[in-house]
Structures are given as structure tokens and as C-alpha cells.
Amino acid sequence: MDSLSVYAGLVPKACHNGACGVCRAQVHQGSFEKLKMNKRHVSKEDECNNIVLACRVLPRGDMDIEFLPRPVSKSSKVYVLGS
């Protein structure tokens, strides 16, 4: 994740290990291996559709990925400290 940080503004990252889910991404192309996904952020169906948490993906070549916006929660309009 940090090696992607040359594009820091484009790469949502925080926990680097799965809990926070901010790096949820759609893989369009490229081969990769992956670690266990956090099902709270990536359902089995998501995984079948190549949706991943980027921090738990190990690229095996160039990849074409698209970071996904955070799902809109029912409380998306609440004041969030520090945002």
C-alpha cells in the first residue's frame, strides 16, 4: 500500500490489514494472490466479482484497479469528527 503512495491522494489507506475497509477496490485486470478478506467489508459475492481490500492483495504483475467509494450508510449525513 505504501508503495502506491506516489499517488498518495488517489490511494485510500489506513489500517493496511483489513479492519477499516477504506481501500475497497474493484479489480479490472491483472493477476494477484490475496489474503483472507474482512467479510464486514467484502462479502462472498463481492469476492466472486473481484472486489477486494487492496491491502490484502499481493499483485503478481501490473494490475488495473479502481478504488470504490465507501457504501453510503444511513447516517452518512452525521457530523464526523476531523473529516
Binding residues (CB under 8 A) for another protein: these are: 12-22, 35-36, 38-40, 55, 73, 75-76, 78-83
Nearer to another protein, 62 or 73 (CB): 73
Of 75, 64, 66, 74, the closest CA to residue 30 belongs to 64
Of 68, 66, 63, the closest CA to residue 41 belongs to 68
Pairing of strands 32-34, 64-67: unpaired
**Residue 80 CB, nearest approach to another protein (Å):** 5
**Residue 69 CB, nearest approach to another protein (Å):** 13
User: How far is C-alpha 25 from the chain's CA centre?
Assistant: 4
**Residue 43 CB, nearest approach to another protein (Å):** 10
